[in-house]
Amino acid sequence: MVIFVPLKPEWMRSGSYLLTSGEIPLGYWMDKTYNIAPDFSWFIYSDNEKELSFLFSHDQGKTWQKSLVSENAQRIRYRKAQFFADGSGVLVYSNASPEVSSEGLEIFQTNDFGKTWSRSNGTTINQPVQNVSFVNPTLGFVSTRENLYYTNNSGSSFKEAVVTIPADYQTGGLDLFQTPNEVTQVSTNQLETKFYLLKMAGIDQGKMFACLYRSSDNGETWQFAEQLSEVKPTE
């Protein structure tokens, strides 16, 4: 089935279309800036480099609706949306400035699958935003190349999380918490995610591995659980 989407591809690449690892080639897109599914398809875009809009369909693309996220989304770089089963969702974007390394992070929320959006919070992150992952509309995580921050109040405030790195690993080479990794809730009191660590000893010295981490305190601290698979630089 062919679906017609009433937007231009370049509208999805508005602003600075860069990740912390570099520019995204033409034909590739930032993770979770769009979704195509029978019951809910959507796209984040800007057709004028100022307003950020949300295009969505609930009928396999037969009809589309547009909603305004922000009237002042200039110098946008990182962007992402996440939705939950009850129709609530979070959309975030960062504002980049060529003069400083810090970025502004804007947080918007919806309770109706993106028909309407309201700005819930905003903050400044001291380095370029690398990944944002919300477990629910209240609990979310923001990472840079070196640090992981968490909020338990929908972004009203962020605190730095403590990530325990085993002695024979270190961060470096790739972003610690790299898209498409997400923080997931596996039980009432436990969160899981994958961090990328560089092995510093043994036969795998110098190789990068995805490592499973767990938290039992809503993301305030993270403990190493096990080494998973090797990660190539292109992944």
> How confident is the model over 129-142, as pLDDT tens digits?
889 999 999 999 99
Mean pLDDT of the chain: 91
Task: Verify cis geometry, omega within 30 degrees of 0, for the bond prior to 9.
Answer: no
Q: Provide the whole-model pTM.
A: 0.89
pLDDT tens digits, one per residue of 28-78 = 889 899 999 999 999 999 999 999 999 999 999 999 999 999 999 989 999
The predicted structure's pLDDT at residue 62: 93
pLDDT tens digits, one per residue of 156-202 = 999 999 999 999 998 866 667 777 778 999 998 899 999 989 999 88
The predicted structure's pLDDT at residue 7: 93
Give the C-alpha separation, 141 to 159, whole Å. 10
Give the C-alpha separation, 13 to 118, whole Å. 23
pLDDT tens digits, one per residue of 87-118 = 999 999 999 877 778 899 999 999 999 999 99
**What six digits make up the tokens of 124?**
């400044």
**pLDDT at position 1 over 80:** no
Instruction: Specify the residue for token string 């993106």.
Output: 114
| Strand partners for 27 | none
Give the C-alpha separation, 217 to 150, whole Å. 11
- Strands (E) in 111-233, as ranges, are 118-125, 131-134, 140-143, 148-151, 159-160, 162-163, 169-170, 184-187, 190-199, 208-215, 221-230
The predicted structure's pLDDT at residue 112: 98
- Asked if residues 220 and 161 have their Cβ atoms less than 8 Å apart, the reply is yes
